[in-house]
């Protein structure tokens, strides 16, 4: 049988076994060539649901235009937009701009220093910062919800850390009767006075009677209806909503954003749980909406992100029997053990283009191009460029221990699997019309 090797596979595959790189000609394949690309509307649905409005600006009061103008003059946005949290406290305005902490009073914007908070970056056509989502003044100290750092900070006036306590994705702080209350992932936590103990209660559901409902265009993965509990879940602008349609109640809470915007978030039902899958972590909730825990898998370097994003970015396969989740993240595929709370890299090839994940029997299959830049050549030059490249199909054992690569001698955009033999599916490779 004819075999060959590809230069980019030799250069960039993260494998110590040369046998994993040999390409053999793909069998049992059907071709659909030069067809129209499906309309993206197929990836969305419309739902009329309760949703919070006017939350684009993170503030506790309407921000005066003169403050916005002063901030833009001192720290102008460009292709990068800083994360901004505005708070009016005691008659003065304070702004957290990524880590810059500023005060606006009597028309003057003053830098107070730099807060020791975590900032994550979300990347699309531009770049946006995500910073701490709340801060308050309590007992002559600054209390900060370090959202991206998953902790609560107590800072002195020099913005030095006096105390801290771990809380996953805190986003709202309330000082009441000498106590400190923190909203986090559908829970309200109380931090005791000496910051040594944290107790929690589920956040309450509120009536939707006086809440405006909106018709939203949601990605298919951002909406799930649980027929057993009657709870509808949806993700909108960084927040999870849990809506009981029967008794007309709902609640919402902040979970965060993908680091790589071209990838989609997903709500995934698994037995008696709901998984909220982002591109660098998965949160587990029980069927009633209560948070159970989190598994983090930070993005790696180098990373397939922005214009080098893989075509299958953030697609997944769930093996619910073994509680394993397989995820495309940049240039790699992760096996996430939901029971053990761990993840393992089972495939990696830098600068490649991994397609959507598919499962057949106990193997994963995906379309693969050994260099992501090939697609741009095809987009620009059409059919003439297709003949310069080959397309790979990779077969990967669920445990990552076996890798087989197959090829066809032209560039194809997508792959689907159909029932074939009991041991191997039929591969349907499709190329789209560009010119």
Question: Average pLDDT for consecutive 10-residue bins of the chain (435 residues)?
Answer: 88 87 95 86 85 81 95 90 95 97 96 97 91 96 98 98 97 92 97 91 94 90 94 96 94 96 94 96 97 97 93 96 96 97 96 97 95 92 89 91 93 92 88 83
- Domain locations in the chain? 3-42+273-432, 65-202
Cα-based distances in Å from 379 to 5, 32, 84, 369, 376: 25, 17, 37, 14, 5
| Burial class, 433, CB count within 10 angstroms (exposed 0-12 / middle 13-18 / buried 19+) | exposed
Cα-based distances in Å from 262 to 8, 168, 304, 306, 308: 24, 25, 11, 7, 10
Q: Which two tokens stand for residue 389?
A: 């490249």
Q: How far apart are the first and last CA of the chain?
A: 35
Name the nearest CA neighbour of 160 among 103, 116, 194: 116
Strands (E), 149-305: 151-155, 161-166, 172-176, 179-184, 187-191, 198-202, 206-207, 213-219, 223-226, 231-236, 239-244, 249-254, 266-270, 273-277, 281-286, 291-296
Q: Rounded distance, CA 123 to CA 328, Å?
A: 17
Question: What pLDDT, on a 0 to 100 scale, did the predictor assign at position 354?
Answer: 98
Question: What pLDDT, on a 0 to 100 scale, did the predictor assign at position 236?
Answer: 94
Question: What pLDDT, on a 0 to 100 scale, did the predictor assign at position 52?
Answer: 81
Q: Rounded distance, CA 44 to CA 356, Å?
A: 17
Question: What pLDDT, on a 0 to 100 scale, did the predictor assign at position 419?
Answer: 82
Question: What pLDDT, on a 0 to 100 scale, did the predictor assign at position 120?
Answer: 96
For residue 244, what are the β-bridge partners? 231, 249
Is the CB of residue 411 less than 8 Å from the CB of residue 386?
Answer: yes
Q: Is the peptide bond before 302 cis (omega within 30 degrees of 0)?
A: yes
Question: What pLDDT, on a 0 to 100 scale, did the predictor assign at position 19?
Answer: 87
Is the CB of residue 427 less than 8 Å from the CB of residue 26?
Answer: yes
Question: What pLDDT, on a 0 to 100 scale, did the predictor assign at position 42?
Answer: 67
Q: Rounded distance, CA 272 to CA 252, Å?
A: 20
pTM of the model as a whole: 0.94
- CATH domain 65-202 topology: Methylamine Dehydrogenase; Chain H (2.130.10)
Per-residue DSSP letter, 13: B
């Amino acid at each position: 049988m004819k075999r060959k090797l590809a230069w980019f596979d030799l250069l960039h595959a993260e494998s110590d076994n040369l046998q994993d790189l040999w390409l053999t000609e793909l069998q049992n394949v059907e071709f659909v060539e030069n067809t129209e690309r499906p309309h993206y509307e197929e990836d969305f649905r419309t739902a009329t649901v309760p949703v919070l409005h006017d939350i684009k600006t993170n503030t506790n009061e309407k921000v005066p235009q003169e403050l916005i103008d002063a901030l833009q003059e001192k720290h102008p946005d460009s292709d990068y937009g800083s994360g901004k949290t505005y708070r009016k406290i005691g008659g003065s305005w304070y702004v957290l701009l990524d880590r810059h902490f500023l005060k606006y009073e009597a028309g003057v914007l003053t830098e107070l220093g730099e807060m020791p908070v975590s900032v994550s970056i979300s990347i699309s056509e531009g770049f946006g910062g995500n910073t701490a989502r709340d801060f308050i003044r309590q007992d002559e100290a600054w209390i900060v919800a370090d959202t991206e750092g998953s902790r609560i900070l107590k800072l002195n006036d020099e913005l030095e850390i006096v105390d801290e306590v771990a809380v996953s994705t805190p986003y709202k702080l309330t000082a009441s009767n000498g106590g400190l209350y923190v909203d986090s992932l559908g829970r309200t936590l109380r931090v005791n006075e000496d910051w040594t103990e944290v107790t929690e209660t589920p956040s309450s559901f509120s009536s939707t009677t006086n809440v405006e409902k909106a018709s939203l265009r949601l990605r298919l993965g951002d909406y799930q209806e649980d027929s057993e509990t009657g709870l509808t879940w949806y993700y909108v602008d960084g927040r999870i909503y849990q809506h009981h349609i029967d008794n007309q109640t709902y609640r919402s809470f902040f979970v965060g954003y993908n680091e790589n915007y071209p990838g989609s978030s997903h709500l995934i039902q698994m037995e008696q749980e709901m998984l909220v899958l982002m591109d660098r972590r998965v949160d587990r909730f029980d069927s009633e909406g209560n948070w159970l825990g989190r598994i983090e898998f930070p993005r790696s370097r180098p990373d397939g992100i922005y214009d080098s994003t893989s075509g299958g970015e953030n697609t997944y396969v769930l093996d619910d029997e073994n509680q394993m989740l397989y995820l495309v993240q940049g240039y790699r595929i992760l096996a996430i053990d939901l029971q053990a709370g761990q993840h393992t890299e089972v495939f990696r090839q830098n600068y490649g283009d991994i397609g959507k994940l598919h499962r057949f029997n106990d193997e994963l299959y995906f379309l693969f191009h050994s260099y992501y830049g090939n697609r741009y050549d095809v987009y620009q030059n059409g059919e003439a460029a297709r003949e310069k490249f080959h397309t790979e199909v990779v077969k990967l054992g669920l445990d990552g221990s076996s890798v087989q690569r197959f090829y066809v001698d032209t560039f194809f955009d997508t792959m689907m699997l159909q029932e074939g033999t009991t041991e191997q599916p039929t591969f349907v490779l499709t190329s789209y019309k560009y010119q």
